[in-house]
Amino acid sequence: MPLIETNGLTKRYSSVTALDGLTLDVDPGIIGLVGPNGAGKSTLIKILLGLVDATTGTAEVLGLDAAREGLRVREVVGYMPEHDCLPPDQSATNFVIHMARMSGIPPAAARERASEVLRHVGLFEERYRHMGGYSTGMKQRVKLAQALAHDPQLLFLDEPTNGLDPQGRDEMLDLVERTGHEFGISIVMSSHLLSEIERVCDGLIVIDEGKLMRTGRIAELTDETAVLAVEVEWDADRLAEMLADRGLEVQVLGRELEIAGGGSDGVHDAILEAVVALNLPLVRMERRRRTLEELFRPDSDGAAEASNGAG
């Protein structure tokens, strides 16, 4: 069963279109929902949770209709919101117990679950302190803990590294990855930083101005755009010219060449034949995957390839 399915999902606010005909079919795993600020990520999450109605189109989460079965969706899905929403005069323990009880968990089981998830997020020793005295990183961890309180099958994390310093971001990303693996649940994590998505996610959804730009497995996407990096002692320009004459796409970077189609045996053989024909000393040849940031940089060829693969 797909994790998420949407068909023609559109959301308009007066003259603003937050989502524009979004059609998705997302498999289980740790999924990155990425796009610039204002792309429609938070709107999509709220529609999938049944908190906001779409203008047109349909959405299903774990086989449940988000519009008609929103309550049932929220029973099996945890949500970590982007903004600070924690009561400052409450302890983390009391807050997480309350959230567990709101999900229908009995009192004793709710206390046990609160201790378990607060230990998981690294706040067990600080669990009785009022949250008003917590750092931003600690508050983010509490929000993650409450999202786990009712033992969900799926988590929506809206910008979980928001407001954190580099060390705090690293720790939160490690925690997200561990949560997916240790709890055995799927996660949809929104972010505007592609480097974060690439670090922890298996799959990718890219939206911009409410439209789908790309969706798929990250490994497949970076595989499709892999290049062969070739370094020779001299005459890199002559080698590039010969390879271009053979129909290959070549970029010269000093003594190094980058040749598109890095996954093809034919490309590999053509390079070796050209090196031998020109009698050039080959220093190295290696297959290199592009990062997501390289692929979706606006001026890159990969950005065009990614957009062409949308839908």
- pLDDT, one tens digit per residue, over 33-55 is 998 888 899 999 999 999 999 99
Residue 207 lies in a domain: yes
Residues 148 and 24 in one domain: yes
User: Per-residue pLDDT averaged across 128-133, rounded?
Assistant: 96
**pLDDT at residue 301 greater than cutoff 70:** no
Residues 123 and 256 in one domain: no
Q: Last residue of some domain: 201, 220, 239? A: 220
Query: Is residue 309 over pLDDT 60?
Result: no
- Report yes or no on 296 lying in a domain: no
Section 222-244 average pLDDT: 85
- d(C-alpha 195, C-alpha 252), whole Å: 26
Q: How confident is the model at residue 220 (pLDDT cuts 50, 70, 90)?
A: confident
Per-residue pLDDT at 223 exceeds 80 = no
Question: Would you say residue 295 lies in a domain?
Answer: no
Whether residues 125 and 246 share a domain: the answer is: no
Q: Which of 202, 220, 238 represents a domain boundary (last residue)? A: 220
Please report whether residue 193 resides in a domain: yes
In a domain, 306, yes or no: no
Which tokens go with 126?
A: 């600080």
Alpha helices in the chain (DSSP H): 41-48, 70-76, 92-102, 107-120, 136-148, 166-183, 194-200, 218-224, 236-245, 265-278, 292-296, 301-308
State which of 85-99, 241-255, 260-274 shows the largest mean pLDDT: 85-99
The rounded mean pLDDT for the chain is 89
Q: Is the pLDDT of residue 63 over 80?
A: yes
- Cα→Cα distances 148→91, 180, 187, 301, Å: 17, 11, 11, 40
Indicate if 96 and 244 belong to the same structural domain: no
Based on the number of CB atoms within 10 Å of its own CB, is 233 exposed (0-12), middle (13-18) or buried (19 or more)? exposed
Classify residue 275 by its DSSP letter: H
What is the share, in percent, of the chain residues with pLDDT greater than 90?
Answer: 63
In angstroms, the CA 96 to CA 131 distance is: 11
Same domain for 67 and 108, yes or no, is: yes
Query: Do 17 and 102 have their domain in common?
Result: yes
Q: Which of 227, 228, 197, 204 is nearest to 306 (CA)?
A: 204
Residue 20 contacts residue 64 (beta carbons within 8 Å): no
Model pLDDT, residue 170:
95
Binned at pLDDT 50, 70 and 90, residue 297 comes out as: low
| CATH number of the domain where residue 277 is located | 3.30.70.980
pLDDT at residue 91 greater than cutoff 70: yes
**Residue-wise pLDDT tens digits, 145-179:** 999 999 999 999 999 999 999 999 999 999 999 99
Residue 125 confidence (pLDDT) above 80: yes
The pLDDT confidence band at residue 251, using thresholds 50, 70 and 90, is confident
Position 310 in a domain: no
pLDDT at 225: 66
Across 115-142, average pLDDT: 96
Could you read off the pLDDT of 252-285 as tens digits, one per residue?
Answer: 888 888 888 765 668 888 889 999 999 999 998 8
Does residue 122 form part of some domain? Answer: yes
Query: Do both 40 and 139 map to the same domain?
Result: yes
Residue 74: CB atoms within 10 Å: 19
Give me the number of domains the chain comprises: 2
CATH number at residue 65: 3.40.50.300
* pLDDT number for residue 52: 95
Cα 172–chain centre separation? 14
Whether this prediction's pTM lies above 0.85 is answered by no
> Which pLDDT does position 288 carry in this prediction?
75
- Same domain (yes/no): 229, 187: no
Q: Is the domain of 99 the same as that of 181?
A: yes
Averaged over 100-129, what is the pLDDT? Answer: 96
Which pLDDT score, from 0 to 100, does residue 305 have? 42
Pair (102, 42) in one structural domain: yes
Q: What is the model's pLDDT at position 300?
A: 47
Residue 262 belongs to domain spanning: 224-289
Residue 119 lies in a domain: yes
Point out the domain boundary residue: 169, 194, 220. 220
Band of pLDDT at residue 57, cut at 50, 70 and 90 = very high
* Rounded Cα–Cα distance for residues 218 and 197 (Å): 9
Do 264 and 147 share a structural domain? Answer: no
Q: Are residues 20 and 153 in the same domain?
A: yes
pLDDT at 2 (0 to 100): 87
